[in-house]
Amino acid sequence: MARAAITAVGRFLPEDRLTNADLEKMVDTNDEWIRSRTGIRERRILWDKDKATAYMATEAAKDLLRKRGLDASEIEAVIIATVTPDMFFPATACLVQHAIGATKAWGFDLSAACSGFLFALSTGASFIESGRHEKVLVIGADKMSSITDYTDRTTCVLFGDAAAAVLLEPADEGYGILDTIEQIDGAQADLLCMPAGGSLNPPTHETIDKKMHFLHQQGRQVFRYAVEGMADVSVEVMARNGLTGDDVRYLVPHQANLRIIDATARRMGLTKDKVMLNIERYGNTTAATIPLCLNDWEHELRRGDNLVLSAFGGGFTWGAMYVKWAYDGDKVAASAEAEMVAEG
């Protein structure tokens, strides 16, 4: 069976920044509380009301295609992990497929909150492993500002907007996505959810007045499950592949809270230099956090590096993945730079 490898990455970040100082003017909070409880200093927000998740996902896909020198018509499937689709339907994947000109692709959206990218990556990998496809685009994209209540200090400090994309292709023997663990448990579904807008609570004046179209979270309780769940699966994926902390080059964690990430790294026996961390700059961008990390660390990644990707999110959904990185990232970064110089 051919494994699937990530062979290219790309990203989109809105330009506007929402800093902790900005939030101090909006709700009763302060920089010290936000930094010490979450690790976040600022997030990017797509304030433009005419642009949404499909726009960000399209830009991330274009960035990837440009860096990889690939024509969109070669893409066979587009999977978009998101909980903030432009509309319930058509799927964001359809909008992105059209916008990038992926004329031969099919695709769909996948909803698994903060584990969405991991689940989408696992799904995309199956298409490669089965031999059905050779080029699958997997994108994590969320405009969290569209479902965030900026009068609720317990949630509005946490989230940001972003999109990031990866390309999956058949891997050389021994490389790529080597193992995955995925789990869901709906028993605590109400601890982290957006109560209205779906078929249970369609939009009414009442649902709007009760702010039911925003994300709601019982933070302290979710924290307890997240800290345990993310560490458990990360340690399990290491154990069943015979990996120790020394073998792992990077933990690529979902960026929900610095304290959850630190606890996971500790249980995996990893030092801080082996943890990809950008929550400080972007906050929690839900499905975009893991591919954003891969994009931002691409230049440091080398063929053969052992990565553990790990996430926990609403649902609950959680999982971990063991990846043997398939290419030297410094060469891609260098050639992208040369291309930009050549283009002037």
254 has catalytic annotation? yes
Taking CB under 6 A as the criterion, the residue among 90, 219, 245, 269 binding ligand ACO is 219
Within 8 A by CB and 6+ apart from 176, the residues are 3, 4, 5, 6, 125, 323, 324, 326
| Contact letters for ligand ACO, residues 244-273 (x by CB under 6 A) | ------------xx--x-------------
* 99 closest CA partner among 86, 110, 111: 86
* Contact window for ligand ACO (CB under 6 A) among 52-60, 180-188, 263-271, 311-319: 311-319
Query: Which lies closer to ligand ACO via its Cβ, residue 8 or residue 113?
Result: 113
94 has catalytic annotation? no
Burial 127-145 (b: 16+ CB within 10 A, else e): bbbeeebebbbbbbbbbbb
Residues binding ligand ACO: what is the number (CB under 6 A)?
A: 24
Q: How far is the CB of 142 from ligand ACO (least distance, A)?
A: 8
Q: Is the dihedral of CA 103, 105, 109, 114 positive or negative?
A: negative
193 has catalytic annotation? no
Query: Which lies closer to ligand ACO via its Cβ, residue 60 or residue 193?
Result: 193
**Subset of 70-109 contacting ligand ACO (CB under 6 A):** none
Taking CB under 6 A as the criterion, the residue among 74, 197, 223, 280 binding ligand ACO is 223
CA 151 → CA 10, 49, 193, 205, distances in Å?
33, 19, 17, 19
Query: Which lies closer to ligand ACO via its Cβ, residue 97 or residue 115?
Result: 115
CA 300 → CA 50, 63, 250, 276, 331, distances in Å?
36, 19, 10, 11, 10
8 A C-beta contact, residue 42 and residue 20: yes
The residues binding ligand ACO (CB under 6 A) are 29, 33-34, 37-38, 113-114, 153-154, 157, 192, 219-220, 222-223, 226, 256-257, 260, 284, 286, 312-314
Catalytic positions, written as ranges: 114, 254, 284
